[in-house]
Structure 1
């Protein structure tokens, strides 16, 4: 999707209506490219999580964990609560197993405090 798109020349140049139309088109196209990438990430993460869940998450290697957390971070960066009609009603996710322990990096969190991140 990112490789396909119109240029200003496709709509015409030198008059305000074509420039305004291209501005709106470019904005929408950019948002659709972002949405496409995020959906691709989510579908990939869901597939990976399903495979990992089958064998138990304890066997998940660090590289796979980092990949899933990178997707999670990209999703958090793109989220805008002002655009979410249900943002006020949303409740924080909780886990049946307690707070998340950050297993990334050597030594982890030496204080034993939980990481600020929520579970997937």
Structure 2
């Protein structure tokens, strides 16, 4: 614990590191805007002329995963922003934080709370259940008995 920094200088140093990480993340391929740009059309999996259930299923799963990646990227950026705002508030004193910063802090916190609740509901609903049962293969355990 001897190398633990304390005081306003350490907090400003921490805040500048968070700011740099947030900027780097948003400009990286993992930033939510860049992740959102990477989409694939349904026809890329098999064309559009004939029905192809497996390609439709794969496309559905691709879209689901892509949506989740965009959401996770936004949540990560929100968490870093929340940390940045908290470090700023600790630096200037919580009573000296302007109203706009307080509103942003609480708005982000509310978004994160909603995301946690939605994730809990999703987990409860989808625990140990496949999103889409396979219809192209016989029931192996039934056929083996």
Normalised by the size of structure 2, how large is the TM-score?
0.54
Gaps of 5+ in 2: 1-34, 125-145
1:5 and 2:28 correspond: no
Alignment partner, residue 45 of structure 1 = 82
Residue equivalent to 2:72: 35
Displacement, 1:51? 1.7
Give, in whole Å, the separation in 2 of the partners of 1:81 and 1:22: 25
Does 32-41 or 1-10 show the bigger shift?
1-10
CA contact (8 A) 2:82 2:105 kept: yes
Match of 2:106 in 1: 69
**Bigger Rg over Cα:** 2
Distance, in Å, in 1 between the alignment partners of 2:112 and 2:82 is 12
User: Structure 1 residue runs of 4+, over 6 Å off?
Assistant: none
Aligned partners of 1:70, 1:47: CA distance in 2, in Å? 14
Q: Give the helix-richer structure, 1 or 2.
A: 2
1:32-62, Cα deviation, whole Å (9 max, x unpaired)? 1111101101111111211221111111111
Residue 94 of structure 2 is aligned to residue 57 of structure 1: yes
Q: Take 2:44 and 2:99, find their aligned partners in 1: how far apart are those partners? A: 47
Query: Which of 1 and 2 has higher RCO (CA within 8 Å, sep 6+)?
Result: 2
Given candidates 34, 49, 53, the residue that maps to 1:16 is 53
Aligned residues: 84
